[in-house]
Amino acid sequence: MEEAVSENNGAGYPDDKDIHRFQLDGKEIVILGTAHVSKASADLVARVIQREKPDTVCVELCPSRLEAINNPDRWKEMDIVSVIKEKRAYMLLSHLLLSSFQKKIADKLEIQAGQEMMTAIQEAAAIEASVHPIDRDIRTTLARCWRLMGLKAKFSLLLDVMGAMDEADKITEEDVEALKDKDALEMVLEELGEMLPQVRTVLIDERDLYMVHTINHAPGDKVVAVVGAGHVPGIKKHFDEQIDIEELESLPPKGKLGKVFKWGIPAAIIALIAYGFFSRGGAVGVEMVGWWVGVNAFFAGLGALLALGHPLTILAAMAAAPLTSLNPMIAAGWVSGLTEAYLRKPQVKDLESLSSDIVTFRGFWKNKVTRILLVTVLSNVGSMIGTFVALPFILRAFGVEQ
């Protein structure tokens, strides 16, 4: 492979600082850094593609997100029951929260989120160039991120992004242009990334490498790649490197400590209660069981209540939590989420309004789809809290004098 050679940045363009040229194996590649909610970036994309007339336009989208742009009615095909059964509620809720932050900024600036990507697609069609998605599948990225995070970090992620939604009201168009050196996801998760470097690694650094590989293997002799400006330094740094794409698409193995907690805590609680029955008598054993059931049921039910779940959903969460907390193969949120989905079946209008409802807190709780996700997640969180809160009560009951 020939060495990638950087030329003068986009001579003749007023925004030449955002344009970077490379030569690779006889192929000319133009990297265009953009802001994801910027009118100026969308205009620059149009001018560059019209002038360069590339064979291929690469966009910072994965195939599923490109399909979402080409098929805006995709939400109508969502199977919320499958999402819950496949344990993807946390990831989908995180993705919707991130999308809501970006859309809120875009609405404030009267521009559609990802307008520069849609402009790139439209301009590519106008010159009959092919469109090539270069980003890693969003589900893989979130799954890798989720796998590396502990429970506390996951909860912090949801809280941070929900808090960031409120901050979006204070951002002006000038602020967005000033932040063009940051990727939208990086901007939202910057604070969390400082505490958890692996979040930045997965969301930014790995995707830089992934996009280097896909850009370099895009078809055509001349390629224009439209990417978030925050990715440009990483892409330039690794442009002529060989990338292990299979490793970037794989999921890291679950940690051994997680398996120990997953199976060890339920086993320890069962053993402790059984020992209480046999060594301290039935009264102590019953008291221990009572604490376990009561505390677990309370917190799981509280989670479902905070999500504004149906009364029967709350009861389902309360009934399931004491049992599911002892069975690592099933979770209280799985039961409560499916119950909520059955009782309040999402209608087409809920799916159609999803993109607008996620912009506000009220919309998140109002829309039946997101409410089901909230019920699933908050019931699970409540059940997990209940497990740890119940333990000292069980130990105290174990020490009761006969």
Cα(19)–Cα(329) distance, integer angstroms: 50
- What is the CA angle 315-160-317, rounded to 5? 10
- Is residue 372 pLDDT above 90, yes or no? no
Output the average pLDDT for the chain: 77
Mean pLDDT is highest, among 73-77, 136-140, 302-306, for 302-306
Across residues 369-379, what is the average pLDDT?
A: 87
* Candidate from 270-284, 291-305, 317-331 with smallest mean pLDDT: 270-284
At residue 135, the pLDDT reads 93
Q: Bigger pLDDT: 272 or 150? A: 272
Mean pLDDT is highest, among 154-158, 171-175, 340-344, 359-363, for 340-344
Cα(265)–Cα(268) distance, integer angstroms: 5
Q: Please check whether residue 318 is in contact with residue 301, taking contact to mean a CB–CB distance below 8 angstroms.
A: yes
pLDDT in tens, 69-84: 776 555 555 666 676 6
Q: Grade residue 393 by pLDDT with cuts at 50, 70 and 90.
A: confident
Q: Grade residue 157 by pLDDT with cuts at 50, 70 and 90.
A: low
- The sheet with strand 56-59 has its strands ordered as 5-6, 19-24, 27-34, 222-228, 56-59, 130-133
Across residues 191-204, what is the average pLDDT?
A: 66
**Single-letter code of the amino acid located at 146:** W
Across residues 86-110, what is the average pLDDT?
A: 63
pTM of the model: 0.62
pLDDT in tens, 10-23: 545 555 677 889 88
Q: Grade residue 261 by pLDDT with cuts at 50, 70 and 90.
A: low
Across residues 189-218, what is the average pLDDT?
A: 77
Q: Bigger pLDDT: 142 or 50? A: 50
* Candidate from 114-118, 141-145, 255-259 with smallest mean pLDDT: 255-259
At residue 170, the pLDDT reads 58
Domain ranges of the chain: 5-102+111-249, 256-398
Instruction: Label residue 146 exposed, middle or buried (CB < 10 Å: 0-12, 13-18, 19+).
Output: middle
Across residues 173-197, what is the average pLDDT?
A: 52
Rounded-to-10 torsion of CA 275, 281, 282, 285: -40
- Is residue 267 pLDDT above 90, yes or no? no
Cα(359)–Cα(96) distance, integer angstroms: 9
List the beta bridge partners of residue 58: 132, 225
Q: In the structure encoding, which two tokens stand for residue 136, read together?
A: 């890693």
At residue 230, the pLDDT reads 80
**Cα Rg of the chain (Å, integer):** 25
Q: Grade residue 358 by pLDDT with cuts at 50, 70 and 90.
A: low
- Is residue 185 pLDDT above 50, yes or no? no
At residue 101, the pLDDT reads 60
**Single-letter code of the amino acid located at 368:** K
- Is residue 184 pLDDT above 50, yes or no? no
At residue 388, the pLDDT reads 87
Cα(391)–Cα(309) distance, integer angstroms: 27
